[in-house]
Chains A and B, each alone.
Chain A
Amino acid sequence: MEKTGRYLIVLDPNRKDEAVSKISAIAGLIADSREFTAAPEKAANESSVLLHHIGVAVSDLDPDQAVGVRNVDEVRVVEAERYVYAIAPSSEYELGFRDGVDALYRASKSGGGIAALLPRAAAPLDESQITWGLQLIKIPDTHTTGEGVKVAVLDTGLDLQHPDFTARGPVATQSFVSGTATVQDGHGHGTHCCGTINGPSSPSTGPRYGVAPHASLYVGKVLDDSGSGRDGDILNGINWAIGERCDVISMSLGAPVAPGAPPSLAYEQAAKVALDQGTLIVAAAGNESRRPGMIAPVGHPANCPSVLAVAAVDDSMLIAFFSCGQVGSGKAPGIAGPGVQIYSSWPLPRRYNTISGTSMATPHVAGVAALLVEARGVRGSALTSALTSSTKTIGLPASDAGSGLVQAP
């Protein structure tokens, strides 16, 4: 079969960076397709291009270099790129593969279109009006606001004096922390999460950061001001939110688990009862991964089958290095949300803060869940299905990001 003179190098997806540096040492610098998103024409001069989102490098190699690259531990496969001709209907897959690789390669060489072919914005997203997270989950395009939908946030509470919340405050508040009567947030985490779900459409200053500004907010303080909480208090909060007939419970909290550890029977029963009564619990998958080297399992209680576990992606729609994923036969995250460099409300005097975590991805999903309740009237497990079937496919494995990036209706 005719060769094109180029090679396809399939990289170990967990060790892409090491692979690239070793290949670069053998065959010259590999340009990362992501670097061309601001100036696509730069790609035209490169003899090797890394198609980051699919973990494949396309490179001009001489035969000696090809042997060298083949011996790199972090390289799975090196093969000469071929021209593939349609000889039978069964070759459709190969044709598609050829067309795909050719299109990506031509685009990178011609300098025109790789930015359009890859799921990254052409330039860093402009956050002067609305945060990047809200942009990527399509808040600017939705007509829904969460009107009439009840969302409970179980966390460190809310700064009740925050100017973005004083005008319309939470509908209900309840502290489950012993010795603490109010939900006043002395930490910041809860105020940040409440903001992502329910921040106003026009904040006192700065960009919009709230997904569902008209949702009815139920603030349950289950973590004390040092960020510590007990299972009993958190379950108490879930019990309260179900009693209040909340449509969604957002829990940006959790604890690491060992690989293979069974989920909590208590939380699973609570989450199952909740679903049956029309209340969906979404929870943070956890921040214990250190990618690309180490993927930690989805934590407690997000690892319960009836809880929707949320992974975090960045503004390139790549998985966050800390985001927990599926390990062995353990649970995979069900969905992903924006969770890197997230701007939201923070207790006074600071007022706003930008932080990262699956804790920040979770309220994006909870907020969109509220929008879906408003738009389609779906609740419980039907709401889970509505969320996971309307995601944007972003090329990440389901073991990392479930069905993909959450999208507003």
Chain B
Amino acid sequence: MYNEATSMAEKDLIFTVKREDTAGTAERLRSAGVSVSDELHNIGIISGSADDAELDNLRKIPGVLGIGPSRSIQIKPPDSPIQ
């Protein structure tokens, strides 16, 4: 499914999905080429990675409510007076 002419940019993503259909949506995302790393059934969240260029197509998959980047959170080092 990948066009060799397209530069691949795999990106870590968080998919917000219809909670009642988390498993089904994860299946559809896999079929669309998403490498799913976690299905969080209690909260309707799927994390995974996919080609950046596919984002618009992935948004149209039934059950997908939104797609965002997986951000990093960094707290201060142990010796910092403010944490």
Please give the residue numbers on chain A whose beta carbons come within 8 Å of chain B beta carbons, in ascending order. 156, 187-189, 192, 223, 226-232, 234-236, 238-239, 242-243, 252-255, 264-266, 269-270, 273-274, 277, 287, 300, 322, 355-357, 359-360
Contacts and interface: CB of A to CB of B under 8 A. Distances in A.
B82 A235 contact: no
A265 to B, nearest CB: 4
B37 A232 contact: yes
Contact of B40 (A229, A239, A359): A239
A239 B43 contact: yes
A189 B81 CA distance: 11
Contacts of B5: none
Interface string B45-71: 101000000000000000001101111
B38 interface: yes
A375 to B, nearest CB: 27
Majority-rule SS of B interface residues: strand
Given A231-B73, A232-B47, A266 B42 contact: no
B74 interface: yes
**Most A CB atoms within 10 A — which of B47, B66, B83?**
B83
Nearest to B18: A269
Contacts, number: 114
A246 to B, nearest CB: 11
Given A264-B68, A265-B66, A269-B45, A232 B12 contact: yes
Nearest to A346: B78
Interface of B: 12, 14-16, 19, 37-38, 40-45, 47, 65-66, 68-78, 80-83
Nearest to A243: B42
Contacts of A242: 42-43
A189 B73 contact: no
Contact of B75 (A232, A253, A269, A274): A253
B74 A228 contact: yes
A228 B71 CA distance: 11
Given A235-B47, A266-B45, A266-B66, A355 B82 contact: yes
Given A187-B75, A235-B43, A236-B47, 5 more contacts: A189-B75, A231-B69, A266-B14, A269-B65, A356-B81
B38 to A, nearest CB: 6
A234 B16 CA distance: 14
Given A227-B74, A255-B71, A269-B65, A238 B12 contact: no
B45 A270 contact: yes
A223 B38 contact: no
A193 B68 CA distance: 29
Contacts of B16: 265-266, 269
B43 A274 contact: yes
Nearest to A354: B81
